[in-house]
Amino acid sequence: MEFMDVIRKRKSVRRFKPDPVPEEEIKYILEAARLAPSWANTQCWHFVVVTDQDVKNKVGAAGNRWIAKAPVIIVACAEPTQPGVKGDQHYYMLDIGIAMEHLMLAAAERGLGTCWIGWFDEAKIKEALGVPENMRVVASTPLGYPSEEAIATTRKSLEQIFSYNRYEQK
């Protein structure tokens, strides 16, 4: 699949078929995350792949309950002190953002649906998954085969989002 077609294909998927996701597909998309760039190559991430229904229920109960219906949930954790901090910018957030986007695009290429989940009670997820004290839970995504066409969302026009040489809000 052409790169731009993969980008266009990725949409937030919130309904899934019950079909399990083969392990080789899970490994394929984790490999895409593994290859992501990171601050000073610190690779501060750890991904918890949740397939157990009881654990999925606990992760869902920490925020978006519907994700427990997906066959898999992937939870992205980060060790926040390894990457740099500039002012109030904590680069572990960027590192996880890039890795997750790699993962989600790889999933789209394989016909799998994902949805970035940024709203959750971190303490509840840490407890459910046994995430060490020093780690942050940054994001998660359900993973599975979409059961329906994802809702198409709109974007600002290209002209609205950039300017040459000088900041120009349009």
Ligand X SMILES: Cc1cc2nc3c(=O)[nH]c(=O)nc-3n(C[C@H](O)[C@H](O)[C@H](O)COP(=O)(O)O)c2cc1C
The DSSP output letter for 89 is: E
Q: Which residues lie below 8 Å from residue 73, measured CB to CB, with a gap of 6+?
A: 49, 50, 56, 59, 60, 67, 140, 141, 142, 143
**Closest residue (Cβ) to ligand X?**
118
Stretch of 1-9, 46-54, 117-125, 128-136 contacting ligand X, by CB under 6 A = 117-125
Binding of ligand X at residue 69 (CB under 6 A)?
no
The verdict on 116 binding ligand X (CB under 6 A) reads yes
Q: Which stretch binds ligand X (CB under 6 A): 18-26, 43-51, 113-121, 123-131?
A: 113-121
Kindly tell me which residue out of 4, 41, 130, 153 binds ligand X, with binding defined by CB under 6 A.
153
Closest CB 164 distance from ligand X, rounded Å: 27
- Phi, psi torsion values for 57, nearest 5 degrees: -60, -40
- Pairing mode, strands 85-86 and 136-144: unpaired
Classified as helix, coil or strand, 114 is strand
Size of the site for ligand X (CB under 6 A): 10
Pick one of 117, 125, 129, 143: the residue that binds ligand X (CB under 6 A).
117
Pair 122, 137: CB distance under 8 Å:
yes
Tokens 């760039």 sit at which residue?
37
- Residue 155 neighbours by CB under 8 Å, 6+ apart: none
Question: By CB under 6 A, is residue 11 in contact with ligand X?
Answer: yes
- Under rule CB under 6 A, residue 125 binds ligand X: no
Q: Which of 64, 90, 112, 131 contacts ligand X by CB under 6 A?
A: 64
Q: Which residues bind ligand X (CB under 6 A)?
A: 11-12, 64, 115-119, 150, 153
